[in-house]
Amino acid sequence: MARDPRFDILFEPVQIGPVTSKNRFYQVPHCNGMGYGLPMGLAAMRGVKAEGGWGVVCTEEVEIHPTSDVTPAFEGRLWDDSDIPALALMTEAVHAHGSLAGLELVHNGHHSPNRYSRVPPIAPSAMAVDTYDPVQARAMDKADIRAFRQWHRDAALRGKQAGFDIIYVYAGHNLCLPMHFIAKRYNDRTDEYGGSLENRVRLFRELIEDTKEAVGNSCAVAVRFAVDELLGPDGITAQDEGREVVEMLAEMPDLWDVNVSDWSNDSLTSRFGEEGNQESYVGFVKSLTSKPVVGVGRFTSPDAMVSQIRRGVLDMIGAARPSIADPFLPKKLEEGRIEEIRECIGCNICVSGDMQCVPIRCTQNPTMGEEWRRGWHPEKIAPKGSDDSVLVVGAGPAGLECSLALAKRGYEVTLAEAGAELGGRVTCESQLPGLSQWARVRDYRVGRLQEMANVSIYRESPLSAPDVRDFGFARVIIATGASWRRDGLGRALRAPLPGLDQTTVYTRDDLMAGGVVGDHLVVYDDDHYYMGGVLAEKLIAEGHRVTLVTPAAMASAWTENTLEQHHIQSRLLSLGVEIIVSHRLSGLEKGAARVTCVYSERDKAIACDGVVLVTERLPKDGLYRELADNPDGLTQAGITSLRAIGDCYAPATVAAAVYGGHLAARELDDPSPEPVPFLREPRRL
């Protein structure tokens, strides 16, 4: 198909200092949980982005020195020359597809506790590190500043040697040393590096000058700068010092990459921010500089991208999460395949990989992070290994992804769904507050399946074990999902909750079906992800009074990994939800819930009209068990393989369900993988 001419502007080349990007698509630096620890996996992942058409593909933050050690996180490293070969793997992979490679150099200042290097951290002023380690950073003297500038210069030269085309001077979030000097709350110096804004910007200016002098003849020098910290007068704002910094340095770098901080604001989830939400903060930058400007905003709509360019907001469309959800987004636009784009849902499950120091993953793109170790490609899949027909039972995220991947392989697929709607849990959960974009998980897959002649979809088709055996399919995959427990079993309680017959008990399924009665409801969250918080928000919107109880030390504790926890707890409090932390639900009484402190065992009763339990889910695996427990019946029916996937197999995240469905489709011809079914990177001895 031909490209829509409305999008031609996105494919214009852009000059960035001494180098040229082939188009306006710019994969900004983003962490990935691989870094220096898994360089081959990292290179393959970045290479796929370049193959997918991104004109510029950048690293994550790359530490320049042992005083910038954020172990156990796996970021990049350029401490010395021995780190060059690992990063060169990435530049080679990116250059193979005609894209530019960008290197984000970073020193995290007092955000670096230096757990591995054991070097005392450094900062503009003496202060505690912000990671809750019992460590303080020492104030840098003039010799330290000179040394820091030399470390940065050396790292830039190593980056040039590794083949990078763009070298960053980074002050993007409030986690890096140049920003610490700029921000008054971190800098109480009285010398030429403190006091006035001009003095506080001095180090940033010097780093730009040093880097341009070192590599500017062959590499572009970019700056990443957070123009607003969203702290009001306590921080840098776009109306005040953020604007002044850009005015001071406007023509110095070859490119401005601008955003807001901190990371939880920059990578705001769809629950709390719309596409393009940073425009009101960064929109002024282009009016102050002749250099190209890059910005982000979880851009998935090409019309929104074109609008940003034509209205003079940005010169290049920056993306991290959209490039993860679909590495081939640019190429699909270029080839007129807009309907094939896997749009980012803004869930930040990608961030959770980095936060937990494991390889990146994505709800929409199950191949993310598996490019090298499993050899998976987001657009290519091995052809079928037989002429066997496949029955997939259940059209939730696992069943839809499995059906789509199998159909792409060329299998004849029949997808049977018991209900009238496809999508399973994502169809249900996308109706909850802030989660509407999660429906994209369903919409992308249903849209592709409906185009495929080798797929038959049957709605309102509940199947029994005899039905499955009678159909004559050689391969059967069960994806029948899970339901929320209503007995209270979870992490904090491993026996049924006492008094279940004393007070009305609800689950998510009940709330979605309606009919909740009573003024005051207790939401008990022992799941710790998003569900407890969104159900509390839903109940508030419906006019109920809500108390949220959790054994954790905060509401929705696991969402710290998706950068949402602060936003969630702030919203719940603003809505009037009472939050009781560090308490487990220990029993129900008539008109009350009894909760017990997890530390002191002191308990108290909370008067209420009902309790909403958000604890564990039970796999709906009855059909699978009935089939699996009768192997002779499978043989007689000609069923050669039977597999359970997704929540039916092991309840987890939507991302895990999609991944499980994709894995089953890839492994259909190889049901007995090796004990370690993926490659492991060699360690240097």
Query: What is the rounded average pLDDT of the residues 9-36?
Result: 97
Query: What is the rounded average pLDDT of the residues 167-185?
Result: 93
Beta bridge partners of 482: 619
Query: What is the rounded average pLDDT of the residues 645-664?
Result: 98
Work out the end-to-end distance of the chain between its first and last CA atoms, rounded to an integer number of angstroms: 51
Query: What is the rounded average pLDDT of the residues 411-433?
Result: 97
pLDDT at residue 672, rounded to an integer? 65
Which residues does the annotation mark as catalytic? Answer: 31, 170, 173, 266
Cα→Cα distances 456→128, 351, 391, 666, Å: 61, 36, 10, 20
pLDDT at residue 192, rounded to an integer? 97
Beta bridge partners of 319: 27
DSSP codes, 152-210: HHHHHHHHHHHT-SEEEEEE-STTSHHHHHHSTTT----STTSSSHHHHTHHHHHHHHH
10 Å CB burial of residue 244 (0-12, 13-18, 19+) is middle
Q: What is the pLDDT of residues 454-483, one digit of tens each?
A: 999 999 999 999 999 999 999 999 999 999
Residue 173 pLDDT grade (very low, low, confident, very high; cuts 50, 70, 90): confident
Cα→Cα distances 588→457, 485, 536, 605, Å: 44, 16, 19, 9
Q: Which domains does the chain have, with CATH numbers?
A: 5-355 (3.20.20.70), 389-481+620-666 (3.40.50.720), 485-617 (3.50.50.60)
The two structure tokens encoding residue 470: 């009678």
Cα→Cα distances 238→29, 288, 319, Å: 22, 13, 21
Cα→Cα distances 379→48, 663, 679, Å: 10, 15, 20
Share of the chain above pLDDT 70, in %: 99
Distance CA 187, CA 552 (A): 35
Say which DSSP state 464 is in: -
The two structure tokens encoding residue 89: 């793997």
Helix (H, G, I), strand (E, B) or coil at 258: strand
Query: What is the rounded average pLDDT of the residues 166-192?
Result: 94
Sheet holding 603-607, edge to edge: 583-589, 592-597, 603-607
DSSP codes, 293-333: EEE-S----HHHHHHHHHTTS-SEEEESHHHHH-TTHHHHH
Residue 174 pLDDT grade (very low, low, confident, very high; cuts 50, 70, 90): confident
Q: Do the Cβ atoms of 87 and 39 come closer than 8 Å?
A: yes
Query: Which of 388, 544, 392 has its CA nearest to residue 456?
Result: 392
Q: Do the Cβ atoms of 71 and 79 come closer than 8 Å?
A: no
Distance CA 407, CA 384 (A): 9
pLDDT at residue 684, rounded to an integer? 58
Supply angle C-alpha 442, 447, 448, rounded to 5. 105
Query: Which of 557, 529, 545 has its CA nearest to residue 614?
Result: 529
Beta bridge partners of 449: none
Distance CA 455, CA 445 (A): 12
β-strand pairing of 100-106 with 166-171: parallel
Query: What is the rounded average pLDDT of the residues 84-90?
Result: 97
Whose tokens are 């487990």? That residue is 584
Distance CA 292, CA 56 (A): 13
Query: Which of 379, 340, 376, 380 has its CA nearest to residue 361?
Result: 376
Whose tokens are 């469309």? That residue is 317
Mean pLDDT of the chain: 96
10 Å Cβ neighbour count for 675?
Answer: 4
Query: What is the rounded average pLDDT of the residues 179-192?
Result: 96
**Between helices 565-574 and 531-541, what is the axis angle to 10°?**
20
Distance CA 549, CA 597 (A): 11
Beta bridge partners of 589: 592
Residue 62 pLDDT grade (very low, low, confident, very high; cuts 50, 70, 90): very high
Element (H, E) at 547: strand 545-549
Distance CA 343, CA 445 (A): 11
Whether 685 shows a pLDDT value over 50: the answer reads no
CA 157: distance to chain centroid?
A: 31
Beta bridge partners of 613: 524
DSSP codes, 401-462: HHHHHHHHHT-EEEEE-SSSSSSTHHHHHTTSTT-GGGGHHHHHHHHHHTT-TTEEEESS--
**Residue 19 φ then ψ, to 5°:** -125, 165
β-strand pairing of 641-644 with 475-478: parallel
Distance CA 631, CA 626 (A): 10
Supply angle C-alpha 528, 529, 533, rounded to 5. 85
Whether 231 shows a pLDDT value over 80: the answer reads yes
Say which DSSP state 648 is in: G
Say which DSSP state 591 is in: T
**Residue 628 φ then ψ, to 5°:** -65, -30
User: In this structure, is the dihedral angle defined by the CA atoms of residues 352, 353, 355 and 358, taken in order, positive or negative?
Assistant: positive
Which residues, in sequence order, are CB contacts of 350 under 8 Å at separation 6+? Answer: 30, 320, 321, 324, 360, 361, 362, 368
